[in-house]
Amino acid sequence: MVPSTRSTLRRNIASLASMWREIQGSNDWYGLVEPLNPLLREEIIRYVELVDACYKAFDLDSSSKRFLNCKHGKASMFREVGMASSGYEITKYIYAAPGISMPAQQDDAGQSRWIGYVAVSADDETKRIGRRDILVSFRGTVTSTEWLANLMSSLTPARFDPTNQQPEVKVESGFLSLYTSNDSTCRFGQGSCREQLLKEVTRLINQYKGEELSVTLAGHSMGSSLAILFGYDLTELGLNRVHPSCEIPVTVYSFGGPRVGNSRFKQRCDDLGLKVLRVVNTCDFITKLPGMIMNDGMRVIGGRYELPWSDSCYTHVGVELSLDFFKLENPRCVHNLETYLGLLKCCSMAESVKKNEEPGFIQKAKEMVARNYEAVHVMPWQDAARQVGDLVQSLGF
């Protein structure tokens, strides 16, 4: 594994408290993405590690009493995955149900499963980063029913606001199913993923009302889609506007995320002030899908004339940060979160190379990411389920 960057973070981002709003996208990351601002890079790395904790803590042993749940309790989870100094305290675990039926022999058929957690920055971390940060972290696709749910590659109205349902705002039906479906038999979490999130984040906003607050949603692959859906939902309902003169910024850090909705969905997210930073490896085809054909490029002609089928086109939301420092020789790696972490950590090495022309940088970077990937220690079938699931989802069957 690449060594923890926690000590580096504490040294390098002492000025975060003075410019956290810009880092969270208040100006759409203008001037911070190209070239990648070192302060922003370290914040992105921090959130990658907080998402990676979900993978490390997820229990996929079907013989375990915590199967499809987190292996550890809320108070000990960060410590157990090697992140005792994360600076956050977990307040709630979040569960999601695919909302589809599966053959009975499937170990995870019909069950809710742990999808991530809600956490809040502790006092010391709050002082360091300049505000009280409410964090929601989502893992990506792992189990068979999750990727089968993702096969439902069709656009459907979101209709989150009961007073203004906006049927033209459409999102991918598989992601919507994971977000809104409820498994009444779940012994760990009650209510849909959506209901759990809205209740807990609203509670925390009210608890820390009067403090400087931010809401940060971070996820990988399928998890980034859930993060964007929740960010849209939260802002559409106005739950981040606790006072007319005090709007809590809501930011999504998306890692290897697919498209989530149509152009109307993108426009609505922009209108609501939802900030999304999409971190993508240009070799990762998942970030280009669903919508291999019906996508952003099919909406208009000559940049001016919107075509009649534009509402059926998938469109990315937010600002893209592209990572492409070398071509990976192992195609299994391109979508893995550990690869994203390795690429981000290579950024500082790349800057050093530009200045000093250090020989052998490319080879060193390849070796680092290769070591990073091999250290994931996932079982072959688990890795295959994740990769095949994302592949089939992305083909839009």
SS3 of the chain: the string is CCCCCHHHHHHHCCCHHHHHHHHCCCCCCCCCCCCCCHHHHHHHHHHHHHHHHHHHHECCCCCCCCCCCECCCCCCHHHHCCCCCCCEEEEEEEEECCCCCCCCCCCCCCCCEEEEEEEEECHHHHHHHCCEEEEEEECCCCCHHHHHHCCCCCEEECCCCCCCCCCCCEEEHHHHHHHHCCCCCCCCCCCCHHHHHHHHHHHHHHHCECECEEEEEEEECHHHHHHHHHHHHHHHCCCCEEECCEECCEEEEEECCCCCEEHHHHHHHHHHCCEEEEEEECCCHHHHCCCCCCCHHHCEECCCEECCCHHHCEECCCEEEEECCCCCCCHHHCCCHHHHHHHHHHHHHHHHHHHHCCCCHHHHHHHHHHHHHHCCCCCHHHHHHHHHHHHHHHHCC
Q: Is 316 a catalytic residue?
A: no
Which residue in the list 214, 221, 254, 394 is annotated as catalytic? 221
CA distance 343 to 215: 26
For residues 343 and 212, give the distance between their C-alpha atoms in angstroms, rounded to a whole number: 32
- Of 108, 133, 183, 284, the active-site residue reads 284
Among this protein's residues, is 335 annotated catalytic? yes
Q: What are phi and psi of 131, to 5 degrees?
A: -165, 165
Q: Is 28 a catalytic residue?
A: no
Could you tell me if 147 and 385 are in contact, meaning their C-beta atoms sit under 8 angstroms apart? yes
Pick the catalytic residue from 72, 220, 316, 335: 335
Nearest partner of 51 among 235, 252, 196, judged by Cα: 252
* CA-wise closest residue to 90 among 75, 103, 100: 75
Residue 303 in contact with residue 287, Cβ under 8 Å? no
- Which residues have a catalytic role annotated? 221, 284, 335
